[in-house]
Amino acid sequence: MTRNTKFGIISPLSLHPDAADDLRGLMVIDQAQAGKIAAFLQQAKNDPKIIATLLDHDFGETRREPYHVSKWLEFWNTGFNLWRVKLWSFPKGSLSYRIVYAYQPSAQHYHVLAIVHRDFDYQTDHAITQRILLAYRSLGITTTR
């Protein structure tokens, strides 16, 4: 039990086991990028200012912020509460990996479902997409349609 759960405070962000596997795998391939993603997630767990931006479509698009938030529009438009974070890496552009997460309104909780390479094309029939949807449904997150 952590210090916060002792007092009934539960972090609004968690890592799904699939995403944890992604992060562990990335740690083997590219420790620097994995470390930056892990640091961002840890900071987000404890920083209400970051949490407050995770449902703000196109937050950080102008690169004045350290990351960019966007809806996964193809699924968003069909009722899924799926999002993506791109971490900016100055001066290069962005990290090579994205954080895919879902928001569960009933619990006011964010679930990180995957860490994907930026070349991931977000196609509905892709194996990673199917894995993300399976994780989403296993968490009992409802769709709005």
Instruction: Report CA dihedral (13, 18, 127, 111) to the nearest 10 degrees.
Output: -10
Adjacent-strand bridge partners of 94: 88
Q: Is 6 left (phi over 0), alpha (psi -120 to 50) or beta?
A: alpha
Alpha helices in 47-94 (DSSP H): 48-51, 73-76
The DSSP output letter for 141 is: P
Q: What are the tens digits of pLDDT across the range 107-133?
A: 889 999 999 999 998 889 999 999 999
Structural domain that includes position 50: 11-138
Buried b (16+ CB within 10 A) or exposed e, 12-37: bbbbbebbeebbeebeeeeeebbebb
4 lies in a domain? no
Q: What are the tens digits of pLDDT across the range 20-65?
A: 999 999 999 999 999 999 999 999 998 999 999 999 999 999 888 9
42 lies in a domain? yes
Q: Tell me how crowded residue 98 is: count the other CB atoms within 10 A of its CB.
A: 21
Quote the number of domains for the chain. 1
Q: What are the tens digits of pLDDT across the range 88-106?
A: 986 667 899 999 999 999 8
At 6, the pLDDT band (50, 70, 90 cuts) reads: very low
Determine which of 6-20, 65-79, 84-98 has the lowest per-residue pLDDT on average. 6-20
144 lies in a domain? no
112 lies in a domain? yes
pLDDT for the residue 117: 95
5 lies in a domain? no
129 lies in a domain? yes
74 lies in a domain? yes
pLDDT for the residue 3: 38
At 5, the pLDDT band (50, 70, 90 cuts) reads: very low
For residue 8, give Cα distances in angstroms to 4, 5, 11, 20, 42. 7, 5, 10, 24, 19
Quick one: CA dihedral 26, 28, 29, 31, positive or negative?
positive
2 lies in a domain? no
d(CA 111, CA 4): 18
